[in-house]
Amino acid sequence: MTLIYEENAMNIVVSGAASGIGRAIAEKFLREGHSVCGIDLSVSAITHPAYRHFVCDIRDEKLPELPETEILICSAGTQEEKDAIAVNLTGTIHFAEHFRPCEKLCAILFIASASARNGAEFPLYVASKAGIVGYMKNLALAEAKRGVTVNSISPGGVITPANRHILESEELYRAVLDETLLGKWCEAEEIAELAYFLTVVNRSMTGEDLLIDNGEMLKSNFIW
């Protein structure tokens, strides 16, 4: 199935495309003139002639067959602790392995989490995201021989519907902002810009996890 709708466009597959970071990434690629297939448990809010949406679970045995896939972005995930390993890690690996054989594939990107580095969330969620980073590196080693770049982004706080409980609480929001150097969280669109660079512009970085957390990891109080 070829979904290209204009010359020089590429075919992109994005999981978790119905909202948050996944949706922002899908919309970024559409704005740049590419063709996007989104996969999510929820229906899509994107209306665009070059967008096609599949309602399914990344853990499903039968995922869509999209052999023309050139860029694969694994963004789907859950913050529910009881489902974290099954969805974020096992599901993501299953999803990536399904599309990995595509002959035209040139880039794979995973959305991990700053928690994979500092362990600062619930244990199964942390383990699931750390597992994604480890799997990403394994895949980068395996796919290097055919020139496929494989990287991940580890966001800190991001303004998305999944974080509504924090964003709508003045007390909680102020507390989390105070934990960053820049005093803010990032927008999903910022993650999308980085995703575009890593998969379209970048041809030399592979096996790397990029942290984007407004300096939260670096923040410290030096006492002398």
Domain edges within the chain: 11-212
Q: How far is CA 43 from CA 16, 102, 113, 123, 152, in A?
A: 10, 25, 25, 30, 25
Q: So what's the pLDDT on residue 5?
A: 45
Report which residue type is found at 38: G
Work out the pLDDT band at 224, boundaries 50, 70, 90.
confident
Residue 189 CA to residue 51 CA, distance in Å, equals 18
Q: Helical H runs in 47-114?
A: 84, 92-99
CA 163 to chain centre: 16
Question: Which pair of tokens denotes residue 143?
Answer: 């796919």
Question: Which pair of tokens denotes residue 161?
Answer: 């519907």
Residue 175 CA to residue 216 CA, distance in Å, equals 12
Tens digit of pLDDT for each residue in 22-80? 999 999 999 999 999 999 999 998 999 999 999 999 999 999 999 999 999 999 999 99
Q: So what's the pLDDT on residue 221?
A: 76
Residue 185 CA to residue 81 CA, distance in Å, equals 22
Residue 125 CA to residue 113 CA, distance in Å, equals 9
According to CATH, the topology of domain 11-212 is Rossmann fold (3.40.50)
Name 215's Cβ contacts closer than 8 Å, sequence gap at least 6.
Answer: 180, 181, 182
Q: Which long-range contacts (CB under 8 A, 24 or more apart) does 171-179 make?
A: 179/216, 179/219
Helix (H/G/I), strand (E/B), else coil: 85: helix
Question: Which pair of tokens denotes residue 170?
Answer: 């003045």
**Does pTM top 0.85 for this prediction?**
yes
Q: So what's the pLDDT on residue 7?
A: 59
40: left (phi over 0), alpha (psi -120 to 50) or beta: beta
Q: Using the structure block, give the residue that is written with the tokens 């499903």.
A: 60
Tens digit of pLDDT for each residue in 165-208? 999 999 999 999 999 999 999 999 999 999 999 999 999 999 99
Tens digit of pLDDT for each residue in 112-146? 999 999 998 899 999 999 999 999 999 999 999 99
CA atoms within 13 A on the CB side of 53: 19
